[in-house]
Amino acid sequence: MSDNSILFHNVDLGKLQLKNRVVMAPMTRNLSPNNIPGEKSIEYYRQHAAGGTGLIITEGTCVNHIAANGYPDVPYFHGEERLAGWKKIADTVHAEGGKIAPQLWHCGGARKAGTMPEGDVPGFTPSGMFVAGKVNRYEMTQDDINDVVQAFANGAKDAKALGFDAIEIHGAHGYLIDQFLWEGNNQRDDAYGGSIEKRGRFAVEIIEACRAAVGEDFPILFRYSQWKQQDFTARLAQTPAELEQILTQLSNAGVDVFHCSQRRFWEPEFESSDLNFAGWTKKLTGKPAITVGSVSLNADFIPLPGESTFREAEPASLDELVRRITADEFDLVAVGRAMIANPNWANLVEQDRFDDLQPFRKEDLAAIV
Ligand SMILES: Cc1cc2nc3c(=O)[nH]c(=O)nc-3n(C[C@H](O)[C@H](O)[C@H](O)COP(=O)(O)O)c2cc1C
């Protein structure tokens, strides 16, 4: 058995100090009727903070734009009652000794017209597509782009005012920001499409607007991924050089920490080295990086063919994770399904209570608190 103590060292990321390296991965839980995070959400996040998690990244929470949402009962990050709910969550997590960042989200083309409460509003996209090549969504105008940029900035400002410790911008998994980054969804011929640089412009504007809204000292995390929910094999960057081009502009725009979403953290990102996605990101930007993907579990989270829910998995060894952290490949590790099954995952691992770790089961998604 490996020594896991490195996971539980204090970490100083410059603008963000954490009691350990354990992050709760952002996970949509559909717990918020009327899009208000209420008592269930408060208790849910309280349990995760009490369980020893160093940094909680909340489920995706919609910025104040008419087409930001695509799912039932997800929390919004605007409006008095909703923000009051979020303030209670931040206060509760702090009372348990944890830290917390909201994941600011616009789901873009993942929205289907008819999703309530916005009804007929279509999915907003760079080029009318959600699935590459299939035009069946709304193509955003410059005014729409400006509105969404402003909505993210407002969310960032509110997060800071409510007492959150950081924000995470959701730039991953084929949602709106990623749709701009990815040529499979972005066929624009204006300033937001074409070259890697132009495809990154929307993300850059959002990051810069958030930075302007929160000031220099407030941490901004940016989550991104090669894979898309529309296409698990898709890639933003085929080579380290392409990845560097994408990352340099995001980093210069004001990202403090990159959250590098991978399905299996142990997989090398490019053939030329053993480094994973977070490892390459840290190497290319010099910024701290969070890894994620089947940590402490023996199967990744994408459903098996024919299934509609996240894949079940059994507890697995942490040896490879510890080896990579010890080599300083990345700084933090986000845990998803294993933390749904074990809200006290950090405490159990810190105490070497591996036999007490529960497997992840479908039922865990229904049984919240
Ligand atoms: C129920 C569920 C909901 C998720 N919702 C989000 C989300 O809102 N935002 C996000 O960036 N990723 C989301 N993800 C992806 C997770 O953050 C994480 O990257 C993924 O589950 C892989 O980690 P794991 O193998 O430890 O579960 C979700 C995953 C699950 C299982």
Q: For residues 257 and 99, is the Cβ–Cβ distance under 8 A?
A: no
Q: Name the active-site residue from 44, 45, 76, 175.
A: 175
Q: Which atom of ligand 1 is nearest to the CA of 300?
A: 25
pLDDT digits (tens, 9 = 90+) for 131-140: 999 999 999 9
Q: How far is CA 332 from the centre of its chain?
A: 13
271 pLDDT higher than 70: yes
Q: 252: Cβ–Cβ under 8 A, 6 or more apart, which residues?
A: none
What CA–CA distance (Å, rounded) separates 7 from 318? 10
pLDDT digits (tens, 9 = 90+) for 193-232: 999 999 999 999 999 999 999 999 999 999 999 999 999 9
- Mean pLDDT for 163-192 is 98
Residue 201 has phi, psi (to 5 degrees) of: -60, -40
pLDDT digits (tens, 9 = 90+) for 49-96: 999 999 999 999 999 999 999 999 999 999 999 999 999 999 999 999
Query: Which protein residue has the closest C-alpha to ligand 1 atom 29?
Result: 27
Residue 178 is predicted with a pLDDT of: 98
Distance 328 CA to ligand 1 centre (A): 24
pLDDT band at 305 (very low <50, low <70, confident <90, very high): confident
Q: Which atom of ligand 1 is nearest to the CA of 337?
A: 27
Distance 4 CA to ligand 1 centre (A): 23
Distance 175 CA to ligand 1 centre (A): 13
Cα 98–Cα 100–Cα 105 angle in degrees, nearest 5: 160
- Mean pLDDT for 185-195 is 98
Distance 192 CA to ligand 1 centre (A): 28
| Residue from 28, 57, 169, 175 to probe ligand 1 pocket by mutation (most atoms less than 8 Å from CB) | 28
Q: Has 175 been annotated as catalytic?
A: yes
Residue 102 is predicted with a pLDDT of: 99
Best CA proximity match to 111, nearest among 97, 96, 121, 98: 121
Q: For residues 168 and 104, is the Cβ–Cβ distance under 8 A?
A: yes
4: how many CB neighbours lie within 10 A of its CB? 17
Best CA proximity match to 25, nearest among 310, 236, 270, 249: 310
Q: Which atom of ligand 1 is nearest to the CA of 365?
A: 1
145 pLDDT higher than 90: yes
Residue 1 is predicted with a pLDDT of: 52
**% of the chain with per-residue pLDDT over 70:** 99
| Residue from 22, 23, 24, 27 to probe ligand 1 pocket by mutation (most atoms less than 8 Å from CB) | 27
What CA–CA distance (Å, rounded) separates 267 from 276? 6
**% of the chain with per-residue pLDDT over 90:** 94
Distance 97 CA to ligand 1 centre (A): 23
Residue 175 is predicted with a pLDDT of: 98
Residue 251 is predicted with a pLDDT of: 98
CA distances from 172 to 41, 236, 354 (A): 23, 10, 31
Question: Which tokens sit at 195?
Answer: 């070259």
User: What's the number of CA atoms in the CB half-sphere (13 Å) around residue 46?
Assistant: 14
Q: 55: Cβ–Cβ under 8 A, 6 or more apart, which residues?
A: 16, 18, 22, 23, 24, 98, 99, 100, 101, 165, 166, 332
Strand 11-12 and strand 332-335: the pairing is unpaired
Tell me which residues have their CB closer than 6 angstroms to ligand 1: 25-28, 59-60, 103, 170, 172-173, 223, 261, 292-295, 297, 300-301, 310, 335-338, 365
Q: What is the rounded average pLDDT for all residues in the chain?
A: 96
Owner of token pair 């963000």: 16
Residue 368 is predicted with a pLDDT of: 64
Strand 257-261 and strand 289-292: the pairing is parallel
Residue 306 is predicted with a pLDDT of: 80
Q: For residues 83 and 158, is the Cβ–Cβ distance under 8 A?
A: yes
pLDDT digits (tens, 9 = 90+) for 94-124: 999 999 999 999 999 999 999 999 999 999 9
What CA–CA distance (Å, rounded) separates 314 from 76? 33
Query: Which protein residue has the closest C-alpha to ligand 1 atom 13?
Result: 27
- Mean pLDDT for 332-349 is 98
pLDDT digits (tens, 9 = 90+) for 7-62: 999 999 999 999 999 999 999 999 999 999 999 999 999 999 999 999 999 999 99
Residue 207 is predicted with a pLDDT of: 99
226: how many CB neighbours lie within 10 A of its CB? 21
- Mean pLDDT for 174-178 is 98
Q: Which atom of ligand 1 is nearest to the CA of 261?
A: 19
Task: Give the global pTM.
Answer: 0.98
Q: For residues 339 and 45, is the Cβ–Cβ distance under 8 A?
A: no
Best CA proximity match to 129, nearest among 116, 121, 120, 139: 139
Residue 115 has phi, psi (to 5 degrees) of: -65, 125
Distance 25 CA to ligand 1 centre (A): 6
Residue 3 is predicted with a pLDDT of: 87
Q: Which atom of ligand 1 is nearest to the CA of 170?
A: 11
Cα 241–Cα 202–Cα 252 angle in degrees, nearest 5: 55
Question: Which tokens sit at 367?
Answer: 């049984």
Coil, strand or helix at 278? helix
